[in-house]
């Protein structure tokens, strides 16, 4: 009766249990899901291509800034969606609304009381906003207290001018109970002064703005803030400026003396969720627009971070320390932002890929060697059995011979690359050693007295 194939009868690999199979399937599914998520993130658009900015009146200083930012941002493929507003207070309200579409806006220093829950950040202080008080009459006015009892235009609701003028007048003893405070826009206030309907008016804006040019070239009087030092000490958000003599007209010597003004600071503020790459673009635009010199500032004074009203963005601090990020200096914006946005994702994948590439040869090598190890284990088990059998029977020797020949035959069928031929022949040598052991054991049976 033929003996069944005894090969591999000693060493058996445990079959995969249902639990291990389920774990393997679950792991494969999770791996596919993670890879799919990574691919989806990589192909997702890099960043938003439109910034919604809230400015101020259509012909105001903030709108002028935004109009100059727009073409600079357009060079990098970013559209600046400019939305008018009543001014600084309304801009603040829009930006603090988490559900609003506004990303960026201009806020006048000193017009709000920031809170930790605002989630706003300062990108940069971009410009002084001089506060001008023009008045009618023969008397010279250099203190706000002298406006008591007069008709005064103080700005429109939602504007930073309305807020700051009320505060300054209040601390000078001027209020609605002893004076007539009127909420008028710049054009109405100018006409009111010319027509004699009001006695004084607050304005805000750069000296070269159309409204300021009308006022400065008119016969209206410009107030000199004699108490500027005390007011700046009382309100640190304000600055003291000097409008030099003849700044309006050298030929006409207007004004005929230096005029001391107060000024707020225009802050470029954004939600703290604005993409860092867009912050850098806005900073570049702000430097181009505000970096020059004018009546009140030297070259390079603005933009700056000389403000403490809102937290300074991390990108702004890095920008003023070392400039734009390395990639944005030398690559097109879209490519730099694409790489920067995906760097945190790509680096782990690259590390994983590098690890796999390094491990792959070892894994292949181990796989091929494992195909030989199982036969080495069988041979070792057979050899151990031969050594333990001190006086083997003829039947045992016959069984051992069948086993070693089966192992030799099956091992010869293993297909391996040429570089593993040495391993194959090492296995053949091991088979030969065990075959010699079997022959030695068979010789003992022949030489035994019983035989």
Give CA–CA dist 346/222, Å, rounded.
Answer: 61
At residue 243, the pLDDT reads 95
Give CA–CA dist 16/395, Å, rounded.
Answer: 36
Least confident of 113-117, 278-282, 308-312, 331-335: 331-335
Q: Which residue has the higher pLDDT, 13 or 126?
A: 126
3-state secondary structure of 204: strand
Instruction: Name the most confidently modeled range: 110-114, 271-275, 326-330.
Output: 271-275
DSSP symbols for 157-202: TT-HHHHHHHHHHHHTT--TTTSEEE---HHHHHHHHHHTS-SEEE
Give CA–CA dist 141/136, Å, rounded.
Answer: 10
DSSP state of 209: S
Q: Is 47 in contact with 335 (CB distance < 8 Å)?
A: no
Q: Is 286 in contact with 127 (CB distance < 8 Å)?
A: no
Instruction: Taking the CA atoms of 288, 289, 291 and 293 in sequence, report the sign of the dihedral they define.
Output: positive
User: Rounded to 5 degrees, what are φ and ψ at 83?
Assistant: -120, 125
Q: Which residue has the higher pLDDT, 382 or 323?
A: 382
pLDDT digits (tens, 9 = 90+) for 260-302: 999 999 999 999 999 888 998 999 999 999 999 888 888 989 9
At residue 1, the pLDDT reads 41
pLDDT digits (tens, 9 = 90+) for 31-67: 667 666 665 555 444 567 899 999 998 888 899 999 9
Give CA–CA dist 440/392, Å, rounded.
Answer: 11
Residue 376 has pLDDT above 60, yes or no: yes
| Domain spans in the chain, listed from the N-terminal domain onward | 18-37+345-447, 50-324
Least confident of 18-32, 79-93, 128-142, 353-367: 18-32
Residue 21 has pLDDT above 70, yes or no: no
At residue 4, the pLDDT reads 44
Per the prediction, the chain carries an average pLDDT of: 85
Please state at what angle helix 314-322 crosses helix 276-290, rounded to 10 degrees. 50
Top-level CATH class of 50-324?
alpha beta
Give CA–CA dist 321/310, Å, rounded.
Answer: 19
Within 10 Å of residue 11's Cβ, how many Cβ atoms?
A: 14
At residue 337, the pLDDT reads 61
> b or e along 406-444 (b: 16 or more beta carbons within 10 Å of the residue's beta carbon)?
bbbeebeeeeeeeebeebbeebeebbeebbebbeebbee
User: Rounded to 5 degrees, what are φ and ψ at 312?
Assistant: -80, 135
Can you tell me the mean pLDDT for 220-235? 97
Q: Is 164 in contact with 131 (CB distance < 8 Å)?
A: yes
Residue 325 has pLDDT above 50, yes or no: yes
Give CA–CA dist 119/274, Å, rounded.
Answer: 11
pLDDT digits (tens, 9 = 90+) for 160-200: 999 999 999 999 999 999 999 999 999 999 999 999 999 99
- This prediction has a pTM of 0.66
Provide the β-strand partners of residue 180.
Answer: 151
Residue 309 has pLDDT above 80, yes or no: yes
């Amino acid at each position: 009766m033929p003996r069944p194939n005894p090969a591999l009868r000693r060493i058996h690999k445990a079959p995969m249990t249902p639990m291990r199979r389920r774990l393997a399937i679950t792991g494969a599914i999770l791996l596919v899901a993670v890879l799919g998520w990574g691919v989806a993130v990589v192909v997702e658009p890099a960043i938003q291509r439109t910034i919604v900015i809230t400015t101020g009146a259509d012909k105001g200083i903030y709108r002028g800034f935004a109009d100059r930012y727009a073409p600079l941002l357009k060079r990098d493929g970013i559209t600046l969606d400019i939305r008018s507003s009543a001014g600084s207070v309304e801009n603040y309200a829009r930006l603090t609304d988490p559900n609003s579409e506004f990303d960026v806006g201009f806020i006048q220093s000193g017009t709000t009381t920031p809170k930790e829950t605002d989630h706003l950040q300062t990108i940069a202080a971009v410009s002084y906003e001089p506060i001008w008080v023009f008045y009618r009459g023969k008397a010279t006015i250099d203190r706000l207290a002298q406006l008591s009892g007069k008709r005064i235009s103080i700005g429109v609701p939602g504007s930073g001018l309305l807020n700051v003028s009320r505060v300054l007048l209040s601390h000078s003893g001027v209020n609605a109970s002893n004076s007539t405070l009127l909420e008028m826009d710049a054009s109405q206030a100018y006409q009111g002064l010319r027509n004699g309907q009001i006695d004084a008016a607050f304005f805000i804006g750069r000296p070269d703005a159309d409204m300021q040019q009308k006022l400065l070239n008119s016969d209206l009087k410009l107030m000199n803030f004699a108490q500027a030092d005390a007011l700046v000490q009382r309100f640190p958000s304000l600055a003291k400026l000097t409008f030099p003599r003849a700044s309006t007209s050298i030929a006409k010597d207007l004004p005929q003396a230096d005029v001391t003004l107060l000024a707020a600071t225009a802050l470029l503020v954004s939600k703290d969720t604005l993409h860092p790459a867009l912050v850098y673009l806005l900073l570049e635009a702000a430097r181009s627009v505000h970096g020059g010199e004018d009546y009140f500032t030297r070259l390079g004074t603005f933009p700056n971070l000389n403000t403490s009203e809102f937290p300074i963005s991390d990108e702004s601090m890095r920008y003023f320390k070392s400039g734009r990020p390395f990639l944005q200096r030398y690559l097109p914006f879209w490519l730099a932002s694409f790489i920067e946005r995906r760097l945190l994702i790509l680096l782990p994948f690259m590390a994983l890929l590098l690890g796999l590439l390094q491990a792959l040869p070892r894994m292949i090598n181990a796989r091929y060697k494992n195909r030989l190890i199982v036969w080495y284990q069988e041979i070792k088990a057979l050899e151990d059995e031969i050594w333990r059998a001190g006086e083997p029977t003829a039947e045992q020797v016959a069984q051992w011979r069948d086993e070693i020949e089966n192992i030799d035959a099956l091992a010869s069928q293993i297909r391996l690359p040429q570089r593993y031929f040495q391993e194959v022949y090492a296995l053949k040598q091991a088979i030969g050693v065990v075959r010699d052991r079997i022959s030695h054991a068979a010789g003992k049976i022949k030489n035994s007295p019983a035989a």
